[in-house]
């Protein structure tokens, strides 16, 4: 189901006309802001936001922005929604040319650690298109959050809306549309946003997990998987896709669609969100985990889940080709059990590093960038 919004193109066209006339895009009767604000370098900056135990990824392009998921953790020590909105406020203060617009809000699946901030994002900023898997939320907080998303869509019929299911995706390819990828070519580069996985309309025969629960009923396995390309640089976001669906993904998509430079590590570094065959297809230079710090000892935290888990760190250590300055970090051995390990591969985590920014250029080169809001996890 797709509803197309033409507002993004109109916004960009209006901004270009205003620049041509010497007017500021924000409508102020002054000279345009500095070139770094109106005309950023031709790069894709991917901000892996520190929203604690949860996921939120801001994709910044020269002519637009996309937000994938909205966090996140909430307890007496940390609240992801103010952290998310503070970051987005700082981002839009720098990128005044975007006028508070998110070209796309993509929700990988309706779990609270991915949708908690969605109502605030929809209220506070201008969202032009919304992409989701269409699954019905089951957790109480997620039901509330997704109910507000549904109300927003009813109240804003001009917003582009697309529900992604496996039936929509070509059997051996990827899905895109003007809602999924509304970005025009900018500064000589045409960014690409493609979806490789979505909600399965029927049980493919995934069986039961170790707890006797049907894997088909697990919303993680219906996560939207997104591939982002900017020139020769590429990123893969798998949401919380778990082993059985990862295997199905590998069987359904050609290898070249999964070969990427940056891997947003699935399921917050859980033991069941990354597999060796997936890493062998990706051959990533960088891996980034959106996970909370082990120091916050509450329910629904990285400490309570034991994230990131040792088997996943072992896989990443052998599969990631890039390097970083060595750090000593806490690695989960089990729930509420951690041990120290030196990390010198290009493996990052928001629970270790705060918000992580990777700047990808058309030639495929990728470097660490500076966050708009510098955050630091609490000391252990």
> From CA 87, how far away is CA 31, in angstroms rounded?
26
Residue 232, phi then psi, degrees to nearest 5 = -90, 0
The predicted pLDDT at position 31 comes to 30
Q: What is the mean pLDDT of residues 217-242?
A: 97
Tell me the three state secondary structure of residue 318: helix
| 137 DSSP 8-state letter | P
Which token pair is 223?
Answer: 């996560």
The predicted pLDDT at position 374 comes to 84
Under 8 Å between Cβ of 114 and 69: yes
First to last CA, the chain: 47
Q: Is residue 301 part of a domain?
A: yes
> From CA 37, how far away is CA 55, in angstroms rounded?
26
| 166 DSSP 8-state letter | G
Find tokens 């900017």 and name the residue.
230
Q: What is the mean pLDDT of residues 246-266?
A: 96
**Beta strand pairing status for 101-102 and 126-127?**
parallel
Q: What is the mean pLDDT of residues 69-88?
A: 96
The predicted pLDDT at position 237 comes to 98
- pLDDT tens digits, 121-170: 999 999 999 999 999 999 899 999 999 999 999 999 999 999 999 999 99
CA 282-305-213 angle, to 5 degrees, is 80
Q: Please say if the pLDDT value at position 282 is more than 50.
A: yes
Per-residue pLDDT band for 376 (boundaries 50, 70, 90) equals: low
The predicted pLDDT at position 201 comes to 93
The predicted pLDDT at position 379 comes to 53
Give the total number of structural domains in the chain.
1
- pLDDT tens digits, 297-322: 999 999 999 999 999 999 999 999 99
- pLDDT tens digits, 90-110: 999 999 999 999 999 999 999
Q: Is residue 379 part of a domain?
A: no
CB neighbours (10 Å) of residue 45?
Answer: 23
Q: Is residue 359 part of a domain?
A: yes
Instruction: Residue 76: name the closest of 52, 110, 54 by CA.
Output: 52
Per-residue pLDDT band for 188 (boundaries 50, 70, 90) equals: confident
- pLDDT tens digits, 335-362: 999 999 999 999 999 999 999 999 999 9
Rounded mean pLDDT of the chain?
89
Q: Which is it for the CA torsion 249, 244, 105, 365, positive or negative?
A: negative
User: Distances in Å between the alpha carbon of 224 and those of 53, 200, 245, 288?
Assistant: 19, 10, 11, 18
Question: Which residue(s) pair with 43 in the sheet?
Answer: 361
What is the value of pTM for the model shown? 0.89
Percent of the chain whose predicted confidence (pLDDT) is above 70: 88
Q: Is residue 153 part of a domain?
A: yes
Q: Is residue 35 part of a domain?
A: no
Q: Please say if the pLDDT value at position 249 is more than 70.
A: yes
Q: Is residue 365 part of a domain?
A: yes
CA 75-76-78 angle, to 5 degrees, is 65
Query: The domain containing residue 225 runs over which residues?
Result: 42-369
Instruction: Residue 357: name the closest of 148, 60, 16 by CA.
Output: 60
Percent of the chain whose predicted confidence (pLDDT) is above 90: 84
* Domain containing residue 172: CATH number: 3.60.15.10
Q: Is residue 176 part of a domain?
A: yes
Under 8 Å between Cβ of 131 and 105: yes
Q: Is residue 345 part of a domain?
A: yes
Per-residue pLDDT band for 2 (boundaries 50, 70, 90) equals: low
Under 8 Å between Cβ of 320 and 349: no
Q: What is the chain's Cα-based Rg?
A: 20
Q: What is the mean pLDDT of residues 167-174?
A: 90
């Amino acid at each position: 189901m797709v509803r197309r919004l033409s507002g993004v193109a109109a916004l960009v066209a209006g901004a270009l006309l205003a620049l041509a006339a010497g007017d500021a895009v924000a409508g102020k009767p002054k000279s345009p802001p500095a070139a770094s604000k109106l005309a950023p370098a031709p790069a894709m900056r991917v901000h892996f936001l520190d929203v604690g135990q949860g996921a939120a990824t801001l994709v910044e392009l020269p002519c637009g922005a996309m937000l994938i998921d909205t966090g996140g953790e909430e307890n007496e020590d940390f609240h992801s929604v103010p952290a998310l909105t503070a970051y987005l406020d700082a981002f839009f203060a720098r990128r005044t040319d975007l006028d508070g617009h998110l070209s796309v809000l993509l929700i990988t699946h309706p779990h609270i650690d991915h949708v908690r901030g969605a109502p605030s994002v929809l209220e506070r900023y201008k969202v032009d298109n919304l992409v989701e898997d269409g699954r019905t939320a089951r957790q109480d907080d997620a039901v509330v959050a997704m109910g507000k998303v549904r109300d927003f869509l009813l109240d804003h019929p001009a917003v582009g809306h697309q529900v992604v299911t496996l039936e929509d995706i070509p059997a051996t390819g990827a899905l895109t549309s003007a809602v999924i990828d509304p970005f025009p070519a900018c500064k000589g580069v045409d960014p690409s946003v493609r979806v490789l996985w979505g909600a399965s309309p029927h049980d493919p025969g995934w069986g039961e997990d170790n707890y006797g629960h049907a894997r088909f009923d697990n919303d993680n396995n219906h996560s939207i998987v997104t591939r982002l390309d900017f020139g020769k640089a590429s990123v893969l976001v798998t949401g919380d896709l778990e082993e059985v669906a990862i295997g199905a993904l590998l069987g359904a998509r050609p290898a070249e669609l999964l070969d990427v430079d940056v891997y947003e590590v699935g399921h917050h570094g859980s033991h069941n969100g990354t597999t060796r065959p997936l890493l062998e297809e990706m051959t990533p230079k960088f891996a980034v985990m959106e996970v909370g710090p082990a120091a916050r000892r509450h329910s629904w935290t990285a400490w309570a889940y034991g994230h990131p888990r040792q088997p996943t760190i072992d896989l990443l250590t052998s599969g990631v080709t890039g390097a970083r300055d060595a750090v000593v970090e806490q690695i989960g051995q089990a729930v509420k059990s951690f041990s120290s390990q030196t990390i010198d591969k290009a493996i990052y985590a928001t629970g270790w590093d705060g918000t992580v920014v990777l700047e990808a250029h058309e030639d495929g080169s990728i470097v660490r960038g500076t966050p708009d809001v510098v955050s630091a996890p609490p000391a252990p």
